[in-house]
Chain A
Amino acid sequence: MSVNIKEKVWYLANFEAFEKKLNGGAQTPLHRLRKAALQRVKKNGFPSIREEEWRFTNVSSIESMNFKPVDEKEQEEIGRNTLQEYLFEDLTPNRLVFVNGRFSSQLSSLSGLAQNIKFENLALELKNNPDVLLPYLAKQADYKKHAFTALNTAFLSEGAFIYIPNNIIVDEPLYILYISRDGGESFVTHPRNLYVVGSNAQVKIIESYVGFGEEKYFTNPVSEIILNENAIVDHYKIQQENKSAYHIGVTQVHLKKDSNYRSNSFSFGSVLARNDINTVLDGEGAECTLNGLYMANGKQHVDNHTLIDHAKPRCNSHELYKGILDDRARAVFSGKIYVRPDAQKTDAIQSNQNLLLSEDAIVDTKPQLEIFADDVRCTHGGTVGQLDDEGVFYLRSRGISKHYARNIMIQAFAGQVTHKIKLEGLREKVEGLVFSRLRDGHLSDK
Chain B
Amino acid sequence: MLEIKNLHASVEGTEILKGIDLKVNAGEVHAIMGPNGSGKSTLAHVLAGREEYKVTKGSVIYEGKDLLAMSPEDRAREGVFLAFQYPVEIPGVNSAYFLRTALNAVRQYNGLDDISAFEFLKLAREKMKLVDMDESFLKRSVNEGFSGGEKKRNEILQMAFLEPKLAILDETDSGLDIDALKIVAHGVNQLRNENNAVIAVTHYQRLLNYIVPDYVHVLYKGRIVKSGGKELALELEEQGYDSIKNDADKKVNVPGLTGVK
With A393-B72, A408-B101 in contact, is A399–B90 under 8 Å at CB? no
Q: How far is the CA of A203 from the CA of B93 in the complex (A)?
A: 31
Interface residue from A389, A390, A405, A412 paired with B92 (Cβ < 8 Å): A412
Q: Are A413 and B92 in contact (CB under 8 A)?
A: yes
In this assembly, does A398 line the interface, its C-beta being within 8 Å of a C-beta of chain B? Answer: yes
- Range class of the A interface residue count: 20 to 34
Q: How far is the CA of A296 from the CA of B5 in the complex (A)?
A: 48
Q: How far is the CA of A257 from the CA of B137 in the complex (A)?
A: 41
B 34-63 to A, binary, CB cutoff 8 A, 1 in contact else 0 = 000000000000001111100000000000
Q: How far is the CA of A338 from the CA of B51 in the complex (A)?
A: 47
Closest residue of chain B to A403, judged by CB? B73
Q: How far is the CA of A416 from the CA of B92 in the complex (A)?
A: 6
Question: Which chain A residues border B52 with CB–CB below 8 Å?
Answer: 389
Closest residue of chain B to A415, judged by CB? B92
Q: Are B71 and A399 in contact (CB under 8 A)?
A: no
In this assembly, does A336 line the interface, its C-beta being within 8 Å of a C-beta of chain B? Answer: no
With A400-B73, A408-B101 in contact, is A395–B92 under 8 Å at CB? no
Q: How far is the CA of A405 from the CA of B93 in the complex (A)?
A: 11
Q: Are A412 and B76 in contact (CB under 8 A)?
A: no
In this assembly, does B88 line the interface, its C-beta being within 8 Å of a C-beta of chain A? Answer: yes
Number of interface residues of B (CB under 8 A): 31
In the complex, chain B residues 73-102 whose Cβ is within 8 Å of any chain A Cβ: 73, 75-77, 81-82, 84, 87-88, 90-93, 98, 101-102
With A404-B101, A408-B101 in contact, is A397–B92 under 8 Å at CB? no
Q: How far is the CA of A411 from the CA of B142 in the complex (A)?
A: 14
In this assembly, does B124 line the interface, its C-beta being within 8 Å of a C-beta of chain A? Answer: no
Q: Are B98 and A395 in contact (CB under 8 A)?
A: yes
Q: Are A416 and B91 in contact (CB under 8 A)?
A: yes
Interface residue from A388, A394, A416 paired with B87 (Cβ < 8 Å): A394
Q: Are B88 and A390 in contact (CB under 8 A)?
A: yes
Q: How far is the CA of A399 from the CA of B90 in the complex (A)?
A: 16
In the complex, chain A residues 164-216 whose Cβ is within 8 Å of any chain B Cβ: none
Question: Which chain B residues border A411 with CB–CB below 8 Å?
Answer: 92-93
Q: Are A399 and B88 in contact (CB under 8 A)?
A: no
Closest residue of chain A to B97, judged by CB? A408
Q: Are A412 and B101 in contact (CB under 8 A)?
A: no
Most chain B CB atoms below 10 A, which of A390, A391, A394, A405: A394
Interface residue from B87, B92, B102 paired with A400 (Cβ < 8 Å): B102
Distance from A421 Cβ to chain B, minimum over Cβ atoms (Å): 14
Q: How far is the CA of A405 from the CA of B76 in the complex (A)?
A: 14
Interface residue from B81, B88, B101, B109 paired with A391 (Cβ < 8 Å): B88
Q: How far is the CA of A388 from the CA of B73 in the complex (A)?
A: 17
Q: Are B92 and A399 in contact (CB under 8 A)?
A: no
Q: Are B92 and A401 in contact (CB under 8 A)?
A: no
Q: Are A402 and B71 in contact (CB under 8 A)?
A: yes
Distance from A237 Cβ to chain B, minimum over Cβ atoms (Å): 22
In the complex, chain A residues 399-433 whose Cβ is within 8 Å of any chain B Cβ: 399-402, 404-405, 408-409, 411-413, 415-416, 419
Most chain A CB atoms below 10 A, which of B51, B52, B101: B101
In this assembly, does A318 line the interface, its C-beta being within 8 Å of a C-beta of chain B? Answer: no
In this assembly, does A396 line the interface, its C-beta being within 8 Å of a C-beta of chain B? Answer: yes
Question: Which chain B residues border A419 with CB–CB below 8 Å?
Answer: 92
Closest residue of chain B to A419, judged by CB? B92
Q: How far is the CA of A415 from the CA of B92 in the complex (A)?
A: 6
In the complex, chain A residues 100-148 whose Cβ is within 8 Å of any chain B Cβ: none
Q: Are A393 and B101 in contact (CB under 8 A)?
A: no
Question: Which chain A residues border B103 with CB–CB below 8 Å?
Answer: 399
Other contacts beyond A393-B72, A393-B88: 20, CB < 8 A: A391-B90, A394-B87, A394-B142, A395-B90, A396-B49, A396-B76, A397-B75, A397-B81, A397-B84, A398-B76, A398-B102, A400-B102, A400-B105, A402-B71, A405-B73, A408-B93, A408-B98, A411-B93, A415-B93, A419-B92
- A selection of 20 A-B contacts at a CB cut-off of 8 Å is A388-B90, A391-B88, A393-B50, A393-B72, A394-B87, A395-B90, A397-B73, A399-B73, A399-B77, A399-B102, A399-B109, A400-B101, A400-B102, A402-B71, A408-B93, A408-B101, A411-B92, A411-B93, A415-B93, A419-B92
Binding site for B on A (CB under 8 A): 388-391, 393-402, 404-405, 408-409, 411-413, 415-416, 419
Binding site for A on B (CB under 8 A): 48-52, 71-73, 75-77, 81-82, 84, 87-88, 90-93, 98, 101-103, 105-106, 109, 141-142, 158, 162
- Give the top 10 A-B pairs by smallest Cβ distance, nearest first: A412-B92, A398-B102, A399-B76, A415-B92, A394-B88, A396-B72, A399-B105, A399-B106, A412-B93, A396-B73
